[in-house]
Structure 1
Amino acid sequence: MSRLLLSGARIVCPYTSIDSTGDVLIEDGRVAAVCIGKSLDVDQAESVDCKGLVLSPAFVDVHVHLREPGEEHKETIASGASAALAGGFTTICAMPNTNPAIDNSRLVRWVIDRANGTGIRVLPIGAITIARQGKVPVDYEAMVKAGAVAFSDDGSPVMNSRMMRLALLYSRTLGVPISSHCEDTELSAKGCMHDGAVSARLGLPGIPASAEEAMIYRDLSLAAETGGHIHIAHVSTSGGVEAIRHAKKIGVRVTAEATPHHFTFTDEWVAGWRDSSTDRCLSISAYDTNAKVNPPLRSREHVEAVIDGLVDGTIDAIATDHAPHSVLEKDCPFEEAAFGISGLETALPLSLELVRTGRISMMKMVSLLTISPAKAFGIDHWGIEEGRDANLVLFDPNLKWTVTPSALLSKGKNTPLIGRQVMGRVLMTISGNKRYVREELKAKWKQH
């Protein structure tokens, strides 16, 4: 990349509080000029007509499952990075529930080295306990020195309260968050979807909201006592949102994330195709395993509470919990299917739903995908500023497209959106000297 002029875009940058039309010049992978309200006159540069498009800092995802090492049939670091770029993300945090688990400094360095050349930053999250078994703590200090940005046993809750307390004490000392998968497995038992009217109608064992909320209460209490930084992953219940809201008011060091599927889909999606105007299922003959996720898709009241948490700042960030699986792990009876939704490439259109319905502004949405998750995890990230490395995403908020397996770069095609039309798509992601460009943008490309 030499010189690239992005002209006439709506620039939305929470770092500089800019929301205005302007031009941005990229030169040798850096932002050379930002011009608001008028055009830049540039010779000998490629240019893109960005009228009607939004230009923002590239997105940050603090919750991604890359599956490597050990489950490369589901995803690899390389394929996950490609999906991230296609979704507008240039920084992703890789969860440690791999095989073997990322539970030592050697594997932390291995993930970082493996990501070299992908065009994005892959920041490892280390396991809280050896092999994620909840029994023996890892060497937290050595793993932070190796590059771990947080710790989590995600996919397996830390049931041992003493172990979680120890992790939070290290969190206070080392200055990194503990990302908690909040689930009381005694309460969730063999449940496979939200415990409510839909699960009763479908005859499927349910996971009550209390299974998540009980652990959120515990972790908030431990964080208050230790002074450690607890990060509540994939918040999905009204009680959980309210508990976090109260904890923030009394000064507990807590941050939280919500996934696009938890603030967009309800448990009705488990039943198959839905009426988009009412969110009611049209048939209960198809038990959609692509809608099976942990924590489960909840009822409408919980979804509304999660949205309220995003609106008022109780929930700090949007994170995808990208969880790719192979076809065989989803093409089976619902109770036997793996939990997880592939989400990197559909996060933008689902998040834009909140903007279109007037729940949040475009600036707020971009903040939830950029500056807020970066701050929550203490990750170096920056806006659209002269002299900075180009770390940008250009998207069309009104472009409609159909989600198909072939349209997704991730190996994981497991999303309940397959076959459905969504609105909003990333057209280009720039990460330094690397850029991902979608075919639809090439018609707007000019050479001067």
Structure 2
Amino acid sequence: MISGIKPVMSDMASKTSNRCPVKSEVAKVMLDYPDKQISRFDIGGVMLLIKNGRVMDPKSQLDQVADVLIDNGRILRIAPDIEHDEAEQIDASGLVVAPGLVDIHVHFREPGQTHKEDIHTGALAAAAGGVTTVVMMANTNPVISDTETLQAVLASAAKEKINIYTNASVTKRFNGQELTDFKALLAAGAVSFSDDGIPLESSKVLKEALDLAKANKTFIALHEEDPQLNGVLGFNEHIAKDHFHFCGATGVAEYSMIARDVMIAYDRQAHVHIQHLSKAESVKVVAFAQQLGAKVTAEATPQHFSKTEDLLRLAGANAKMNPPLRTEQDRLAVIEGLKSGVIAIIATDHAPHHSDEKAVADLTKAPSGMTGLETSLSLGLTNLVEPGYLSLMALLEKMTINPASLYNFDAGYLAESGPADLVIFADKEKRLVTEAFASKASNSPFIGETLKGVVKYTIAKGQIVYQADN
């Protein structure tokens, strides 16, 4: 259960300020992509029987070796020693069988920036990472601020075999002043609202947006970096000053804005979701608000619990992101927030960029963000489970049922009659991260690292949408 809120559960390019404060061959991805091999499983209508896997369901806490029988997009049965002559079998011996991952923070760049990614290649990347449900952000071109743009995006998403939802923007065209038509956008299919990439600077606008969200039984997700307190984005203030010799992104720009926003949410008794926490003080502020009774939820990214600002010196622009990678103290505080439940959700902030954009000579001009869908599970296994910070069940909880519950999605769990969205993975097997991503982009600072965890199969709506080459 997500800490700090009851309602919907089932049981950036940020502005900057001048003010400085005191692919090789990819494994088989089977989503009808022209350059990828198609499996006969992709045709649909095939009954699947997963045999002898370690079945783990964070919702029920089920953890046992069992079989899973799937037909017509649903799970028919979970039990040992199931036999069915007509089912295609998958041998999951020694593998974990878990709910398909749910990532509530991705950028698929469609419309307007499809040289970076599009909805189809984003779906490929999700499937390759074991993700079967995603929520896209609205910072496209045009911004998803109106029902016409929203409907076009959802029509494109409906062609894919994973579950794809989208936010709409809080303000029109991200102008920070004029609220969008929440009621109309929800009716047209938006699942929540965010100006992710750009903070809401006006307290008055935020208050009005929260009132509107509450009236429409939804919530707002916030990117928290006050441009009035920041220098160059994407560089933590310490490494910016000591190594690059300019003013960077400050911690106070993040946690002061979070403090303002959670208290406004508390006053309005509206739900606010804080995106990608990166500072130790931010975790403390969110914890305080939750203890006070505010309806506040929060997420952390794999990159912020895995690495520090020092990665910028090794990986360059691929390690530049908003908010930036911080200090070791901050990294450990984010992990502690995940352990305590203050941070209930792990989300990638999958932000693909073209290699030419990341390769500019001036690092400050490179766009912020990294491709993240295909490394998120491995980073959780390597940097949370392996060191003993989280159990495997707790990791899966933060990547499946918790994010699904935030949106009341029918996802993130394994149960008879439940959705047949699953990931099958080897939790102990090691992998070398290469540029062979299913995404259009390869802007990952983890290329060259050896991580634990290999996705073997991803099943969405009862169909195999990804199968690793063996």
- TM superposition score normalised by structure 2: 0.88
Unaligned runs of 5+ in 2: 1-44
* SS of equivalent to 1:176: coil
CA shift, 1:316, in A, is 1.2
1:167 aligns with 2:196: no
CA shift, 1:213, in A, is 0.5
* SS of equivalent to 2:303: coil
Greater mean deviation of Cα atoms: 42-51 or 63-72: 42-51
Partner residue, 1:374: 404
* SS of equivalent to 1:325: coil
Partner residue, 2:445: 416
1:429 aligns with 2:453: no
CA shift, 1:42, in A, is 2.5
Partner residue, 2:7: none
Distance in 2 between the 1:22 and 1:108 partners? Answer: 41
One-letter identity of the residue aligned with 2:231: A
Partner residue, 2:67: 23
Of 337, 340, 348, 2:369 maps to 340
CA shift, 1:334, in A, is 1.2
In structure 2, the CA distance between the partners of 1:81 and 1:191, relative to structure 1 (3 Å rule), is closer
One-letter identity of the residue aligned with 2:330: H
* SS of equivalent to 1:288: helix
Of 47, 64, 76, 1:32 maps to 76
Of 153, 156, 175, 1:133 maps to 175
Partner residue, 1:207: 249
Aligned residues: 424
CA shift, 1:138, in A, is 0.6
* SS of equivalent to 2:304: coil
Partner residue, 1:444: none
Distance in 1 between the 2:234 and 2:83 partners? Answer: 58
Partner residue, 1:301: 329
Partner residue, 1:325: 353
Partner residue, 1:181: 223
One-letter identity of the residue aligned with 2:369: G
1:362 aligns with 2:392: yes
Correspondence list, 1:180-329, <5 A = 180-197=222-239, 199-272=241-314, 288-329=316-357
CA shift, 1:78, in A, is 0.7
Partner residue, 2:115: 73
Partner residue, 1:146: 188
Distance in 2 between the 1:107 and 1:96 partners? Answer: 10
Distance in 2 between the 1:384 and 1:191 partners? Answer: 41
* SS of equivalent to 1:126: coil
CA shift, 1:27, in A, is 2.1
1:4 aligns with 2:4: no
Correspondence list, 1:429-448, <5 A = 429-440=458-469
> What is the CA RMSD across the aligned residues, in angstroms?
1.4
Q: Would the aligned equivalents of 1:81 and 1:118 in 2 still touch at CA under 8 Å?
A: yes
In structure 2, the CA distance between the partners of 1:185 and 1:390, relative to structure 1 (3 Å rule), is same
One-letter identity of the residue aligned with 1:434: Q
Q: Would the aligned equivalents of 2:102 and 2:400 in 1 still touch at CA under 8 Å?
A: yes
Partner residue, 1:124: 166
Q: Would the aligned equivalents of 2:55 and 2:64 in 1 still touch at CA under 8 Å?
A: yes
CA shift, 1:382, in A, is 5.0
Distance in 2 between the 1:373 and 1:44 partners? Answer: 35
Greater mean deviation of Cα atoms: 389-398 or 299-308: 389-398
Q: Would the aligned equivalents of 1:382 and 1:388 in 2 still touch at CA under 8 Å?
A: no
Give the number of the structure with larger relative contact order, counting CA–CA contacts within 8 Å between residues 6 or more apart.
2
In structure 2, the CA distance between the partners of 1:380 and 1:41, relative to structure 1 (3 Å rule), is closer
One-letter identity of the residue aligned with 2:46: S
Partner residue, 1:399: 429
CA shift, 1:199, in A, is 4.5
Distance in 2 between the 1:429 and 1:248 partners? Answer: 35
CA shift, 1:126, in A, is 0.6
CA shift, 1:197, in A, is 5.0
Distance in 1 between the 2:367 and 2:265 partners? Answer: 31
- TM superposition score normalised by structure 1: 0.92
Identical residues among aligned pairs (%): 38
Distance in 1 between the 2:148 and 2:263 partners? Answer: 33
* SS of equivalent to 1:7: strand
One-letter identity of the residue aligned with 1:3: M
Q: Would the aligned equivalents of 1:198 and 1:268 in 2 still touch at CA under 8 Å?
A: no
One-letter identity of the residue aligned with 1:377: Y
Correspondence list, 1:46-85, <5 A = 46-85=88-127
> Deviations for 1:235-288, whole angstroms, at most 9, x for unmatched residues?
10000000101111111000000000000011110110xxxxxxxxxxxxxx61
Distance in 2 between the 1:369 and 1:363 partners? Answer: 10
